[in-house]
Amino acid sequence: MGHGMAKNLAAKGFPLTVRVHRNRKPAEDILAAGAREASTNAELARNSDIVILCVTGSPQVEEIVYGESGILGVAREGLTVIDTSTAEPESTAKIRSDLAAKRTVYVDAPLARTPKEAEEGRLNTMVGADEATFARLKP
Name the pairing type of β-strands 50-53 and 36-37.
unpaired
Q: Is residue 4 part of a domain?
A: no
Residue 8 reports pLDDT greater than 90: yes
Q: Is residue 13 part of a domain?
A: no
What is residue 21's predicted lDDT score, i.e. its pLDDT? 80
The CATH number that applies at residue 103 is 3.40.50.720
Q: Is the dihedral of CA 27, 32, 33, 39 positive or negative?
A: positive
CB 41 within 8 A of CB 69: yes
Q: Is residue 83 part of a domain?
A: yes
Q: Is residue 19 part of a domain?
A: no
- Per-residue pLDDT tens for 81-139? 999 999 999 999 999 999 999 999 999 999 999 999 999 999 999 999 999 999 999 98
Q: Is residue 64 part of a domain?
A: yes
**pLDDT band at residue 13 under the 50/70/90 scheme:** very high
- Please count the structural domains in the chain: 1
Range of the structural domain that residue 120 is part of: 41-137
Q: Which whole number is the average pLDDT over 56-72?
A: 98
Q: Is residue 32 part of a domain?
A: no
CB 15 within 8 A of CB 9: no
Q: Is residue 72 part of a domain?
A: yes
Collapsing DSSP states into helix, strand and coil, what is residue 51? strand
